[in-house]
Structure formats: C-alpha cells, structure tokens
A and B are shown apart, each in its own frame.
Chain A
C-alpha cells in the first residue's frame, strides 16, 4: 500500500504531466484567442468560407503566415507567391526545431515528430523554458498538452471569428495586438534576471533583425538571421554548465 502511494501509477503521472502542460500553455491560449478571432474575421471578409479558414488554421497553424496569406489574397496575389512567402516567413521554425529537438534527448523519436509539427514562436519559446520536463517520465505528455492547448485555442478562435464576425469592440481587439509581444517579454525577463548574458544575446538578435529589415530584407529572413547569429554569440557567452542549465 505504502509503495503505491510513493510511486504513483503510470496513468496518474501522465495525467499530472498533461495538467502541468495545460497550465504552462495557458498564457499562449490567452494570447492566441484574440489574434485567432481577428484572423477569422479578416479571412471571412476576404471571402474565405468558414471551412476554408478553419482548415487553414488546422493544417498550417502559423499565425503570421495566415495573416500574410489573407492579406495577399485580398490584393489578388497568386497562389505560388503566397506559398513562397509562407515558406520564407516560417523558415525560422527550422532553426527553432533544431534547438527544440536537441533539448528533447530524453523523448522518443516517434513522439518528437508530432511535437515539432506543433512548433510556433510561442510554443517553442514556452517549451524552451521547461527543459527539465524532457527528462521526466512521460515528459512528452507535458509538451503535447502545452502544444495542443495552444493549437485548440488557435483553431477554435479562428472558427469562432469566422462565424461571429466582429465579436470584440475594435479598440479592445486593437489593444490585444500587443499580447504576444508581451508574452515574449514575460518569457525573456526571468531568464535575463538569472543571467545578464542572456540579455546580450537577445538584444544582439534584436539589432541584427532590425538592421536586416532596414536593409530591405524580408521580415521572415531577417528573423532567421537575427536568431541564428544572435544565438551564435551564445557559443562564447554561455559557459559549459550554463549551457546545460538554460
């Protein structure tokens, strides 16, 4: 009896990991909802049916690219151009996925593929702050539930936006545009407080991204270059043991 109490059953640890993942995903759900609603409204105004705009959220699951596609469709851009622009804008997830997979050494390969399919800026940066879970039992359930809660909020919000149209007062939905940026700040600051070198990495990435965009590089490539080069200075800034820790 006592041993059972000390070692919880496998299914209860799974449930526990799912619950923790949902809690970690909650800020993303809150951040996605207003943006997904706005996407749904804009897409239906551009003439997409509810099925099409929801299907795009289900299959693509990349906010910025979906907004870009809707905007380009509205101006009559061709399909091939839209697909190329999506590739350029989303290529940053390739870099993020490398970092994500590298921190998931404790997780089975068959679980990694579905997890990486759910990588967005938000699910990636949030997961990066929960690295210990990868080495815990049933760690994949933690990440799966974090990603799924974000995914359901995105898909559900898109659908509701398409069905209801303008559900929020314009001023409120305008103000909510800052939500994801605030979330990124909220994710970054605790790490910066722990180690100021992290601020150097982030600020360098910001500046590189900014300069690249000033030079006329597309936003997608500029973010890729900023992330890769900014991260590269971590090779020298992060010590051996810090690299392990953060």
Chain B
C-alpha cells in the first residue's frame, strides 16, 4: 500500500514540475509577463523565508528571527553563502544552549 502512496506523491509532484515545459512552447509571453516571471524567484525567496523561519523553534519564534538577522548581516558583508548558513546555525545553537 505504501508504494502506491509514494507513486501517487511522485505523480502529483512531478506533473506540476514539468507541465510548464509543454505549455511554454505554445505561447509567447508578452514583455510584462517576462518581468513577472523574472520577479518570481525573489517573491518565492520572500515567501519561503517568512513566516517559516519562526518555526525553527516553534516554542521560541524569536530564535529563528534572530538567526535570520545574523544571516542578513553576514550576507550583507558579502560573506560566502556557506558561511552565512554556518553562522545562522551557530546562532541557533548558541541561543538554545
């Protein structure tokens, strides 16, 4: 039974992923649509960060927010993304000691 659940999950995940390849060939987007699609990554990043980051420690949402601010600071100083990640992990670790 579990295998059918896995296959079902795989299908409903895969179809929305590749469907745009089929659709895009049949339509040409107007310029404004291009700008919309170009803005999607930034909007997605925003929606993925907040409010999700507050659930890093669901009982103490400020910990996720503080770790996020540390990440913003490190990224602002042009520090490589790997160290941004490590810095945020370290802040959560220290805040929960």
Contacts and interface: CB of A to CB of B under 8 A. Distances in A.
Contacts of A246: 38, 42
B61 interface: no
Interface residues on A, range: 35 or more
A185 B37 contact: no
Interface in A53-92: 55-56, 59-62, 65, 69, 79, 82-84, 86-87, 90-92
B46 A226 contact: yes
Interface string A187-205: 1111101000010011111
Contacts, number: 280
Chain B interface category by residue count: 35 or more
Nearest to A83: B8
B12 A102 contact: no
A99 B10 CA distance: 22
Chain B interface SS verdict (over half) = helix
B4 to A, nearest CB: 7
A182 B84 contact: yes
Contact of A86 (B13, B41, B49, B91): B13
Interface of B: 1-10, 12-14, 16-21, 23-25, 29, 31-32, 34-53, 56-57, 64, 67-68, 71-72, 74-76, 78, 81-82, 84-85, 87-93, 96
Given A181-B53, A243-B34, 18 more contacts: A27-B85, A52-B3, A60-B9, A61-B13, A90-B16, A97-B20, A113-B21, A174-B57, A177-B92, A185-B68, A185-B75, A189-B75, A202-B49, A206-B51, A219-B52, A234-B35, A237-B39, A244-B38
28 contacts: A59-B6, A60-B9, A69-B9, A82-B8, A87-B13, A98-B20, A103-B37, A109-B25, A112-B21, A113-B21, A128-B41, A175-B89, A175-B93, A181-B53, A182-B85, A182-B88, A185-B71, A190-B75, A202-B42, A202-B45, A205-B42, A205-B43, A206-B51, A209-B46, A229-B43, A230-B47, A231-B42, A231-B43
